[in-house]
Amino acid sequence: MTATLERVPFAELAAQAIAGSATGGCGVREAREAAFARFAEVGIPTSKNEEWRFTSVRHLGSTQFTRAGAAPRLTDKQLTPFLVGAGSLRVVVVDGVVDLALSRLSATAAVRLAALSGTDGEGMSCAGDSATAMMTPFAALNAALWTGGAILSVGANATVVEPIEILHVTTTAAAIAVITPRLAVYLAPNASAHIIESYVSLGAEPHFTNTACEVVLDDGARLEHTRIQRENKLATHIGITSVRQAASSHYRSVSLCLGGKLSRHDLQARHEGSGVETLLYGLYLARGEQVVDNHTAIFHDHPNCNSWEVYKGVLGEKAHGIFNGKVLVKAEAQKTDAKQTNRNLLLSDSAKVDTKPQLEIFADDVKCTHGATVGKLNEQQRFYLRTRGIAGREAEMMLITAFVSEVVAESTHPTVRNALAALVAAELSGMIE
C-alpha cells in the first residue's frame, strides 16, 4: 500500500486482505489491489454526488472499523427463527465467513452450490464479473475486502423447485466491524431457480455490512430473487446487485428492507438480448430515525423487452426514505414496454421521502410510464371502516396491510410469501400506536 492509500478509510483492512490473498488461480490479490485503488480514487461519496445527495455516509469515513473477531459457534436451533425457505440447500455466512457446519451445499450435475472463501484463490473473476467493482464506490470496497460468500450455478434446462437460501448472520463478535460477503449466481440456458438472500443481526451492536451480488442469466433462464434485510437498528447496510440478462430470460426481484440505521441497495439490471423480462418489487418499512435508500436502474439495450417495477414504503416517526429509479431505453430498443411506480405512506408529520423516478428514452416505438406518490392514510377509508365498527389501531393496521400486500403477493413461493407477510405484520405492529 502506498503512503497515499494508507490515509484512505479502510486502508489497513485492505492491506490485510491483500496480504492474505493467494497469488495464483483467479488473480484474487491483483483484483483486490485494483479494486481498492478504485475506491481510493473515488472515495466515500458526499452530498455533492448526485447519486448520494439525499443519503449521508459521512460516518463511514470517521469510524475506525475492524475485522470481525472469532465468531461464536452457532447451532441450527439459533438459525431456525431466521430461515425463510425449507433449508434443504443453504449457505450460512457468519460474520462474513462461510460456516460449513451449518451450510447444506450441493455439487451435482444440475446444481452447484459452493462456499466462497476470501483466502483460497477462487477470487473475483471466479466469483462473478469483476467489472462490478467499478459500479459504485462501495462495490469497489467489497471487491477489495470480501471475506466469503457463495457461488450458485444451475445447469442447462434444470429446475430447482425449493428456494436456495443464503443467510448472512452478524454476531456480537462483529461489533464495529465491516462485513463484506459476496454472492455469484449463474443460470445456464433455460434453467430455473429461486434464491433467498437474507441479512440478520444476533446482537444490537453497530456494524457495517457491505455486500455484492452478481447474477448472470443465460438464454431463457428464470430466476426469482428474494432479498431480506432485517439487521439491527444500529447497523449500516450497503449492497449492490448486478444482473445481466441474455435473450428471453426472466428476472423477478422481491426486496424487503426492515432493519439498519442506514440501509442502501443498488439494483442494476442490463438486457443483453431481446425478449427479456425484468420485474422488480420492493417494500421498505422504517421508523425512529432510520434512513432507507433504494436505487434501481434497468438498461433496455435490446428490442422487445419488458420491465415492471413497483416499490412501496411505509415510514413513521422521523424516518427518511429515498427512492431513485432509472429506466434507460437505447435507440435500438424498439418495442420496449416499461412501467415504474413508487408509492409512499407517511405515518407521521416528521417522516419524509425523496423520490425520483427517471425515464431516459432514445427509441420512438415504446410504451413507458412512471410515477410516484407520497401521502397519508386516506380519511375516507378510515371513515368507511369506522361506520362498520372498525376504528383506531385495528383500522390503521388493516389499511396499511392492504397497501403493502401488493408487493408481498409478488413472491410466487407460498412458504416464502407467508414468511414475508409475517415479517411485515410484526414490523407494522411496532410502528402503529
Using DSSP's 3-state secondary structure scheme, residue 378 falls into coil
pTM > 0.85: yes or no? yes
What is the sign, positive or negative, of the torsion defined by CA atoms of 397, 287, 230, 122? positive
Q: How far from 36 is each of 13, 86, 136, 281, 316, CA to CA, in Å?
A: 10, 38, 12, 32, 38
Largest CA distance in the chain: 72
Distance CA 136, CA 132 (A): 8
pLDDT digits (tens, 9 = 90+) for 285-318: 999 999 999 999 999 999 999 999 999 999 999 9
Q: How high is the pLDDT of residue 3?
A: 39
pLDDT digits (tens, 9 = 90+) for 99-140: 999 999 988 889 999 998 876 544 444 444 545 666 899 999
Q: Does position 177 have pLDDT exceeding 90, yes or no?
A: yes
Q: Kind and range of the H or E element at 200?
A: strand 192-201
Q: Average pLDDT for residues 395-422, to the nearest whole number?
A: 95
More confident residue, 270 or 130: 270
Distance CA 358, CA 368 (A): 11
Q: Does position 8 have pLDDT exceeding 50, yes or no?
A: yes
Distance CA 39, CA 60 (A): 13
Q: How high is the pLDDT of residue 288?
A: 96
Q: Average pLDDT for residues 187-196, to the nearest whole number?
A: 98
Query: 10 Å Cβ neighbour count for 385?
Result: 17
Q: How high is the pLDDT of residue 120?
A: 53
More confident residue, 389 or 246: 246
Distance CA 290, CA 318 (A): 7
Distance CA 174, CA 205 (A): 8
Q: How high is the pLDDT of residue 5?
A: 55
Q: Does position 191 have pLDDT exceeding 50, yes or no?
A: yes
Q: How high is the pLDDT of residue 69?
A: 86
Lowest mean pLDDT among 27-31, 135-139, 207-211, 350-354: 27-31
